[in-house]
Chains A and B, each alone.
Chain A
Amino acid sequence: MNNKNLNKFIYKTLIVLFPFLLFLLLYIILDPFMVIHGYPFYKKGNVVGIDKDYVSTTTYEKQYQKYRYDSFIFGNSRSMFYEVSDWQKYLPSNSSCYHFDASAESLYGIYKKILYIDQKGESLNNVLIIVDADTLSKDKSLEGHLFIISPQLENNKHIVKFHTTFFKDFYYYKFLYAFLDYKISGKVKDYMRDNHLLDDRLFDYNQITNEARNLDAEEKIWKATYYTNKRLSGFNRLQGDFVSVPAIKDSQRQMLEEIKKIFTKHHTNYRIVISPPYDQIKFNPEDLHYLEDLFGKDFVFDFSGRNILTETYQNYYDNIHYRPQVSRQIMGIIYETDSTKRANMIEALGIK
């Protein structure tokens, strides 16, 4: 009798859970975020926003033995516009570069990536770190399927959380609707783009260096169709002088000190760049002093605040991301070996 009741209970529970199981199956088969099955190429034809941290880490893991990377660019999406072809001019000719970035990267993410490379016994000969107050303030893995840290970087400790994050976001009703619509119609429609659900903008992706270049935006800028009124309305800055709140606290200090130790161990030729945000908010001086004390004044460069780079919107794609022309200028300054010349270049930009 008892067994009969138990069987009845299990049977009914399975019936009630059927839709959930069906969607689970659908998710596993379709794998919209590309985290279940292995993929040789992540960006090709993909219209779903995927976790750049996972892409960067997985691609590195697959390729590091082949390409023996020894030079890395770390940072959030702002770092995307530091192109390897430009950077390589300042490095030894035999350097093998990899862009190890993540969307909305955290200091925690940068620290974990550096630690990961070190633990693999790989070289860290040249490193360029692109940060801002937001990056430095984040001392934990972020939530959400676009940002969550790749499980390999945490020794697969949070692999369940990692996968449930994607599974949960798959069920977000607007995304699910758009995704199924796209799968059936084969088209990315305006409502999908407008709601940041799917994106078919043209990116040039280099699998070896893990670089994604925004060809779409550059093409529009050259055709003078990019800076529309709608887009310009997103370029915001407050009137007056503002300083970011202190971002470096105890946990950040620990991570930064660990990073420094690894750099010392590897004799790394590193540079740390504080990004020039369009909002012109100046990077906190206390944080800057801390970074300069730890990493050395000649290796930390702050381009935030009011200056020529941040003055004009033509240097930016949006409120946050600056164009490669800015990054080129920055690289020219930070790799200038003549300190007087470098100081003059900084002064010419109006940076105090």
Chain B
Amino acid sequence: MILLCSGINYLAGLALASHEEEKTRKLILATSYILSLGLLGVFKYYNFFIDNFINAFALAGIYLQARTLDIILPLGISFYTFKALSYTIDAYFRKLEPTKDIIAFFAFVGFFPQLLAGPIDRATNLLPQFYIKRTFEYDKAVDGMRQILWGLFKKIVIADNCARFVNDIFANYETLPASALVLGAVFFSFQIYGDFSGYSDIAIGTSRLFGFSSMRNFNVPYFSRDIAEFWRRWHISLTSWFRDYLYIPLGGNRGTKYRVVRNTFIVFLVCGLWHGANWTFIAWGLINALYFLPLLLLGKNRKNIDTVAQGKTLPNIKELFQIVTTFALATLAWIFFRADSIGQAFAYIGNIFSKSSKAVVEYSSLELIPLLLIMIAVEWLQRDKQHGLDFNNRKIPTFVRIIIYYALIFITMLFGSSQQSFIYFKF
């Protein structure tokens, strides 16, 4: 699949390099689009659309017979398809010179650290790095190792530990008290952040070990003061992809209000669908579009573009309120992302507001709180840096750094597993 996708876009690049006529270039771009997205569509969305098509007709009393495909979704297909497509689109818009170097191009698309979970790096940034001979860069490698360590902490300690409570709470949401459901939603927010940004840190850090500079993928999104800022800081490689290759070509925020609203909805819905073939992801996209639109229409979507509380140790009350509110809105939307169905998401939210509150200590989840606080504190202190352990331009004594490394390694080792594996009546 990856070879096919790379091959399509490599040939499209070569074709674009040898054709100047606009009509032909458009045809090449359209072919590349259809073939690349067609592969993605078949493997990722075919069954979803067929099922919904059948269900839609069934509502009208027409029962269709159609076969769904018994196929396995190729790993990372959404990531490398978008990566390869960005190359063709940039070549079409003459933002880059199409490459003839087949090895460099295939290595760019299949660059192993980014293959499974991004970042969806751009050809303009990554491809030229394959042309040059790299030499070992000590500072880059050390920084890469630090970023990997921070990523491991977020993935193994935060995400994996949150996951076991989240799985338990979402599986039993019908019987649990409201406080547990709130906790489940909050933990899921940290789980998905720890998981995704942790993977990104590991990928970027690994790239740096090999001398490659990848684009940043997460920039402390949970310290955002509004949803527009959140989306500038969350999964940056994807959101900027949609901005550059979908939102702006659709007209962006130029034109009538109707067009702006339409473009915003399209981008968020497609963004939701990109995450998976399920209505829950589409609902998640829709909710975020509804969050985002008022800011856009009121011209406040670029109000918070700097780092929060810059130069200060703590945020002020207003900033804190904005951060908490944004986090709460994001968390509410994440419930749809995590739920198995839209019905379950609504039932989950409904239970939060209808169930009586009880202590949540019974879930022994309190042991997670100090770990979450460590992550939040480190990310807050490092919010103007590239990652949690970016010590560049910081005067930190060697022994303190070593203590930090060892502490993180120990925490990652000791909290990398869970009691869940042990809780079993031994017969």
Contacts and interface: CB of A to CB of B under 8 A. Distances in A.
Given A8-B138, A20-B413, A144 B406 contact: no
Contact of A19 (B406, B419, B422): B406
Interface string A137-158: 0000001111100000000000
A95 interface: no
A171 B422 contact: no
Contacts of B361: none
A175 to B, nearest CB: 6
Contacts of B406: 16, 19
A145 B418 CA distance: 11
B260 interface: no
Residue with the highest number of chain B CB atoms closer than 10 Å, among A9, A17, A317: A9
B409 A20 contact: yes
Interface string A71-108: 00000010010000000000000000000000110000
B346 interface: no
A172 B418 contact: yes
A176 B414 contact: yes
A196 B413 contact: no
A214 interface: yes
Nearest to A24: B413
Interface string A11-55: 011001101100100000000000000000000000001000000
Contact of A173 (B135, B402, B415, B424): B415
Contact of B422 (A6, A13, A196): A196
Given A143-B421, A144-B420, A23 B426 contact: no
A174 interface: yes
A269 interface: no
Contacts of B414: 171-173, 176
B156 to A, nearest CB: 9
B425 A195 contact: no
A332 to B, nearest CB: 23
B416 interface: yes
Interface residues of A, number: 43
A171 B402 CA distance: 21
Contacts of A173: 414-415
Given A9-B138, A19-B406, A168 B427 contact: no
B425 A9 contact: no
Contacts of A201: 426
Contacts of A197: 422
A201 B421 CA distance: 19
Interface in B136-179: 136-138, 141-142, 145
A171 B417 contact: yes
B405 interface: yes
A144 B138 contact: no
Contacts of B145: 13, 16
A2 interface: yes
Contact of B423 (A5, A9, A196): A196
B410 interface: yes
A169 interface: yes
B415 A318 contact: no
Contacts of B413: 19-20, 23, 171
A280 B409 CA distance: 47
A147 B425 CA distance: 12
Nearest to A17: B409
A318 B425 contact: yes
Contacts of A212: 427
Given A9-B138, A20-B413, A144 B419 contact: no
B417 A16 contact: no
A199 interface: yes
A9 B410 CA distance: 21
A206 to B, nearest CB: 15
Given A77-B427, A195-B422, A197-B422, A6 B136 contact: yes
A12 B149 CA distance: 14
Contacts of A342: none
B419 A195 contact: yes
A9 B142 contact: yes
Contact of B417 (A6, A17, A169, A199): A169
A80 B405 CA distance: 47
A175 B416 CA distance: 12
Given A16-B405, A19-B409, A20-B413, A172 B422 contact: yes
B406 to A, nearest CB: 6
Interface string B383-427: 000000000000000000010011001100111111111111111
8 closest A-B pairs (Cβ-Cβ)? A144-B421, A173-B414, A172-B417, A77-B427, A5-B138, A171-B413, A169-B417, A168-B417
Given A5-B138, A165-B421, A197-B422, 4 more contacts: A9-B142, A19-B413, A143-B421, A173-B415
Interface of B: 135-138, 141-142, 145, 402, 405-406, 409-410, 413-427
7 contacts: A6-B138, A9-B142, A49-B422, A104-B424, A145-B421, A169-B417, A321-B427
